[in-house]
Amino acid sequence: MRRKKRPEHSNHERWLVSYADFITLLFAFFVVLYASAQVDKRKIGKLAMAIQQGFAQMGVFEGAGQKPAVLAPDQSGPELPVTRSHEPLGSLEPLAQEPPADHPNLAGVQRRMQAALALQIRARTVSISSTKEGIVVSLRELGFFDSGSTALQPSALLALDEFVKVAGPLQARIRIEGHTDNIPIHNGRFDSNWELSTARATEIIKLFITRYGITPDRLSASGYGEYYPVASNDNPQGRAMNRRVDLVILNSNADSSAPSPELASPPDSPNPSTP
């Protein structure tokens, strides 16, 4: 007797297997996305700051020497300051660092110099300005030299003492520039303004070495005569401003033999004398 074939049972729940596989894959996909989004902000911040510092040392970004921007630690993160990972690289500030000895923070140097020479600045015998090469401390003839002479007045040493207190420890180079007005000079010692301006600069060089112990390799002297005025030579007030010696605290990129950049040389003027 032939057995009767039983009808196959239809399983209406087989779709659950495929659905479960799909849900598992979807869950794994979102786990991977979530893990990718939760990068280590502290490590990313260190990397960004290291790159930023490298560019800052080449002068690409401004703000060197400032502290980096930080995020306050949240409840879920590590209790360490971290850099904002969502900020573009160009907005990050470089790591704080001490400037090298021959490349001081010139803004801070200028503030300290102005405080040290406040008395002379009020008396209008000293003026201080900044240029792309460094800090220029201008000594007027009226408060420092006798007319047509290289002899320093006794009161000049007080100002030079204060100058060296600020500039001496920096180890930056110092260029001394002698300048005159356009009135021709002829006396028993000097036949021209070239000689007078150079001799005054050299006199201060000798004083820096012998009195203050500044090493000679940090110093240079230049005489520019009447050819780099800061005021008009058509009146006594302007000529008095032009008779000066400039002490230039140079940054590391400056040329120790070049005049201060704001003193533009007129066309066809002779080259300055640089001992």
Q: pLDDT of the chain along its 275 residues, tens only?
A: 566 666 666 666 777 778 888 889 888 888 887 776 666 666 777 777 777 776 666 655 554 445 444 444 444 444 444 444 444 444 444 444 444 544 568 889 999 999 999 999 999 999 999 998 999 999 999 889 988 899 999 889 999 999 999 999 988 999 999 999 999 987 888 999 999 999 999 999 999 999 999 999 999 999 999 999 999 999 999 999 999 999 999 987 666 655 665 554 443 444 444 44
125 with 227: CB under 8 angstroms?
no
Q: Exposure pattern of 237-249 as b/e (b: 16+ CB <10 Å)? A: eebebbbbbbbbb
Q: Is the pTM of this model over 0.85?
A: no
Residue 41 sits at the vertex; the CA angle it makes with 36 and 46, to the nearest 5 degrees, is: 125
Q: Which residues pair with 103 in a beta bridge?
A: none
What ranges do the domains of the chain cover?
22-97, 106-250
206 with 221: CB under 8 angstroms?
no
Question: Hey, what CATH topology would domain 106-250 get?
Answer: 60s Ribosomal Protein L30; Chain: A; (3.30.1330)
Amino acid at position 252, single letter: S
HEC string for the chain: CCCCCCCCCCCCCCHHHHHHHHHHHHHHHHHHHHHHHCCCHHHHHHHHHHHHHHHHHCCCCCCCCCCCCCECCCCCCCCCCECCCCCCHHHCCCCCCCCCCCCCCHHHHHHHHHHHCHHHHHCCCEEEEECCCEEEEEEEHHHHECCCCCCECHHHHHHHHHHHHHHHHHCCCEEEEEECCCCCCCCCCCCCHHHHHHHHHHHHHHHHHHCCCCCHHHEEEEECCCCCCCCCCCCHHHHHHHCEEEEEEECCCCCCCCCCCCCCCCCCCCCCECC
